[in-house]
Amino acid sequence: MHLAEKLSIAIRHNKHLEHSTWLWNKVRPLYDRVVSITGHRGLKRVINDTDSILVSPKCRGVIEEYEPDVWRSLMAEIRAGDWVADIGTFIGLYTISLGKRVGPKGRVFAFEPDPRNFAMLEENVRLNGLDGRVELVCAAAGSSDGEVCFASEAIESHVVPGMIDAAADGKLRVKCVTLDSIFADNRLDVMKIDVEGYEERVLQGAKRLLSERNPSPRVLYIEVHPYAWPEIGTTSDSLLDLLKNYHYEVATLQGEPVRSISQYGEIIARKVGTAEWT
């Protein structure tokens, strides 16, 4: 973290000043200006004490402890030369670190449909010098190619927006692609999915990709949102059956087998040999 940021945070949380809202309202524009100038080449963040990245001054609210359990598990899976899909990438924290870890022979495909988030993603990737290693896709990933209606949240919320199928007032229409179409001629080694309930739709658009024993992805990291499934038509059984049918074994981050999904969290699906499913 930049020295100016550290100093500002220390002053902001001084016990004698932290409740002086009137003061902060007055100095915030000056602080914003200082951060924009000092951080024009990027603000340094060391995510979870392992991955050093740069973020735009517009993303200065990013903290350095970020999904530590998922982060450590996923990063431990990455090999030099891997091709990775980061679906629902938000502003690119995972994308940037994955891009650095796969090396010059690897590739990261980052999918983000929200135009505001995508603009931040583009800037953050550029600041980290990964333009040739990371391919940015301004689209949602789903079960068919076309368009979907998208409910966008403010970038400050750090919540990936959700999608709905029917058009509604105030919603954006965004491009939707299938992973089968994007990776028609290429392999994919690792997939990370964070799409606010549309996990099964993403997988439905990757049937060819998942069904091929070689070179289908060896591991999928999926953030599951069962509270959002009833509107979409997903159930615990439908999602787990889909993964099982393509010979993926599902476990928690702690390695415990997943038989049913009822709570929000992360699951890991690993490709196994067909003989193990007989």
Instruction: Kindly state the tokens that stand for 207.
Output: 């049937």
- Superfamily designation of domain 58-277: Vaccinia Virus protein VP39 (3.40.50.150)
Tell me the pLDDT of the chain (278 aa) as tens digits: 555 556 555 555 556 556 666 665 666 665 566 556 565 688 899 999 999 999 998 888 888 999 999 999 999 999 999 999 999 999 999 999 999 999 999 999 999 999 999 999 999 999 999 988 999 999 999 999 998 887 765 433 333 334 444 444 556 789 999 999 999 988 999 999 999 999 999 999 999 999 976 679 999 999 999 999 999 999 999 999 999 999 999 999 999 999 999 999 999 999 997 444 43
Backbone φ and ψ of 137, nearest 5°: -125, 110
Q: Where are the domains of the chain?
A: 3-38, 58-277
Rounded distance, CA 113 to CA 127, Å? 21
Instruction: Kindly state the tokens that stand for 40.
Output: 């024009």
One-character DSSP codes across 167-188: --TTPEEEEEE-HHHHTTTS--
Rounded distance, CA 251 to CA 196, Å? 20
